[in-house]
Structure 1
Amino acid sequence: MTDRHPEEFAVAVPGGDLTVLRWPATDPAAPTVLALHGITANGLAWGEVAEQLAGRATLVAPDLRGRAGSRAVAGPYGLARHADDAAAVLDHLELDGAVVAGHSMGAWVAALAAVRHPGRIRRVVLVDGAVSFPLPPGVTEDDALAAVLGPALARLTMSFPSRDAYRDFWRQHPAFHDAVWTDRLDRHLQRDLVGSEPELRSSCVEEAIHTDGAQVLLDAEAAAAVHRLPCPATLLWAERGLLDQPQGMYDAARLTAAGLDPERVTTIAAPGTNHYSVLLGAGGARTVAGLLLAEAHPAG
């Protein structure tokens, strides 16, 4: 399989220009899918999915404002702002009735975009995200973010003397074992760096991460979106958690208790994956790519 590298273009949004990555399809008539990344990620998080698509669809993935190539796009931040930015990308591409996918925080954004822009989005694919649960009693928003994101959040206040040091930092992450680590994963993580050696830092704007994280945990509009979808959705959930712990964010019982409408939201398990490998690993990405193609070419 040929390693695919995306092209970049800019989309004007309030506050600046959003950087958007595009992996073109082999056939210009093939469908286009808009893909939204997680809270401290960037558009290259979708690189393994693009590889698995193998040119059968065009994949478009913005760096959300406050991250990577869109770091300089001004606030305000928040999930509704990202949802409206996603609609701006659809406008730029002149896409109606689109398929939109999101991973982790991006899943909340995808669902919210469908609710805020009805008719623009035909189907959504939600990858280990979009379903909210109340915080346990006594757990603060900051505590919850730190517990859930772990090293991904801690790195925002760190500096790294070299790109190799940053790579070594991520290699210690429990979710990124050797079976997951690829050159595409490495490029995704390295895209996050700004500055120069020996003072490299994450591109993520801390205000953006904390604003967006608080809304994933607590925002009523974002929590309600998956229950108010005006279009069909598929939710693919990882078996294991963000730190590769045995309990993932979701399981069949939790999703049943969440009260999702089975006529509107189809839930599918991704055995053997964790919150990251469900998108970044070859097996998980192959499943996601298959779902995107199925949604882009619905039966009948």
Structure 2
Amino acid sequence: MSTRVVRAVDVAVPGGSLRVGVWEAGPDAPTILAVHGVTSSHLAWEMLAEALPHVRIIAPDLRGRGRSNGVQGAAGMAAHADDLAAVCAALHAVPDLVVAHSMGAFVSVVFAHRHPDLVARLLLVDGGLPLAAPADLTPDELVAAILGPTAARLSRRFADVDDYLAFWRAHPAFADDWSPALEHYLAYDLEREPDGSYRPATSYATTVEDTVDMNTRDTVRNALDALTTPTTLVTVPRGLQDETPGLYPPVHLAAQLAAYPSVAHVAWPEFNHYTVVLSHAGADRLAALVEEQLAASVPHAP
């Protein structure tokens, strides 16, 4: 668990309120807005917060996830982007950098399109450019094809927190990267049912809606076509099950980078889709890149 204290803030959005985690720093500290992935929460950024003690980090639970899973109404990339703008307004924040993982990267590209005054730079982690999604699938089939057991987990029930942690201990993505911080993140994901069992907090219906939106509609592509924000993409070679290829097979990735040449790209071969954020090594590597990005966003006197 992080030694930094995270402050919980509730921010009103259409349909309810978002839970937002804020790791405070000094009065002159830079601010990053951190946006998590499809079945994640703000605690995905706890290890990054530990690695960046001098940086203020604002990280919401997106609607349908974590303690924001009671928000009513439509989801999709535009709704999440507008929620991020509401978070910035409520906290009087204009981020120096937006850091986003997985689905959060797609949300953040749309955020930059809809609210360009709030996005100085984008750092996208294994997401944000179109995926090689199979065509002609039903929504449930599309979710299964992209997320696999990650989506199936959402309908499972667990006897207790230890049962849930045991499920994740057997997960191939974390075979070499288990930690107390990871356990803290995972335990936060649970909600108790009336019968005493536990279920993941993420809404399956919202997961389907978001997955369909970011893979089959024009919202993300239109935002990418209009992208002028300085943007860096980090990719990793292994996916959600530690499999190869990951979300961006090499040929597909090359085509996407050619289609969006303004997006700078770095590849980190030592991580999978989870451990690039949810391991201390991944968070430390990401923290160093955040430092570089923050330095680049500050104009230097001649």
TM range (shorter): over 0.9
- Between the aligned partners of 1:275 and 1:68, the Cα distance in structure 2 is 20
1:150 to partner: Cα distance:
2.2
Q: Which residue of 2 aligns with 1:195?
A: 192
Q: Go from structure 1 to structure 2 and tell me whether the alpha carbon gap of 1:189 and 1:97 turns closer, same or farther (over 3 Å shift).
A: closer
RMSD between aligned alpha carbons? Answer: 1.9
SS in 1 for 2:143: helix
1:140 to partner: Cα distance:
4.2
Q: Go from structure 1 to structure 2 and tell me whether the alpha carbon gap of 1:80 and 1:180 turns closer, same or farther (over 3 Å shift).
A: same
The 8 Å contact of residues 76 and 210 in structure 2, kept in 1 or not, is answered as: yes
1:31 to partner: Cα distance:
0.5
Map residues 173-188 of structure 1 onto 2, 5 A cutoff: 173-177=171-175, 179-188=176-185
Q: Which residue of 2 aligns with 1:16?
A: 16
The one-letter code matched in structure 1 to 2:7 is E
The 8 Å contact of residues 66 and 205 in structure 1, kept in 2 or not, is answered as: yes
SS in 2 for 1:257: helix
1:40-98 C-alpha deviation (Å, 9 max, x unpaired): 10100111111111x12111110011111111111211111000001111112222363
The 8 Å contact of residues 76 and 214 in structure 2, kept in 1 or not, is answered as: no
- Between the aligned partners of 1:96 and 1:32, the Cα distance in structure 2 is 8
SS in 1 for 2:174: coil
1:154 to partner: Cα distance:
0.9
1:176 to partner: Cα distance:
1.4
SS in 2 for 1:289: helix
The 8 Å contact of residues 108 and 225 in structure 1, kept in 2 or not, is answered as: no
Q: Which residue of 2 aligns with 1:66?
A: 64
State the TM-score, normalized to the length of structure 1: 0.92
Task: Could you tell me which runs of 5 or more consecutive residues in structure 1 were left unpaired when the two chains were aligned.
Answer: none
Q: Which residue of 1 aligns with 2:37?
A: 38
Q: Which residue of 1 aligns with 2:127?
A: 129
The 8 Å contact of residues 47 and 280 in structure 2, kept in 1 or not, is answered as: yes
- Between the aligned partners of 1:251 and 1:42, the Cα distance in structure 2 is 26
Map residues 1-300 of structure 1 onto 2, 5 A cutoff: 3-25=3-25, 27-53=26-52, 55-96=53-94, 98-133=96-131, 135-177=133-175, 179-195=176-192, 198-250=196-248, 253-258=251-256, 259-262=258-261, 264-298=262-296, 300=300
- Between the aligned partners of 2:5 and 2:153, the Cα distance in structure 1 is 26
- Between the aligned partners of 1:83 and 1:36, the Cα distance in structure 2 is 10
1:251 to partner: Cα distance:
5.1
Range with greater deviation from structure 2 (229-238 or 129-138) = 129-138
- Between the aligned partners of 1:149 and 1:173, the Cα distance in structure 2 is 14
1:16-37 C-alpha deviation (Å, 9 max, x unpaired): 1111001112x22110100011
State the TM-score, normalized to the length of structure 2: 0.92
The 8 Å contact of residues 128 and 237 in structure 1, kept in 2 or not, is answered as: yes
SS in 1 for 2:117: coil
The one-letter code matched in structure 2 to 1:3 is T
The 8 Å contact of residues 33 and 98 in structure 1, kept in 2 or not, is answered as: yes
- Between the aligned partners of 1:249 and 1:134, the Cα distance in structure 2 is 8
The one-letter code matched in structure 1 to 2:32 is V
Aligned length: 296
Task: Could you tell me which runs of 5 or more consecutive residues in structure 2 were left unpaired when the two chains were aligned.
Answer: none
SS in 2 for 1:159: coil
- Between the aligned partners of 2:46 and 2:2, the Cα distance in structure 1 is 12
1:202 to partner: Cα distance:
1.1
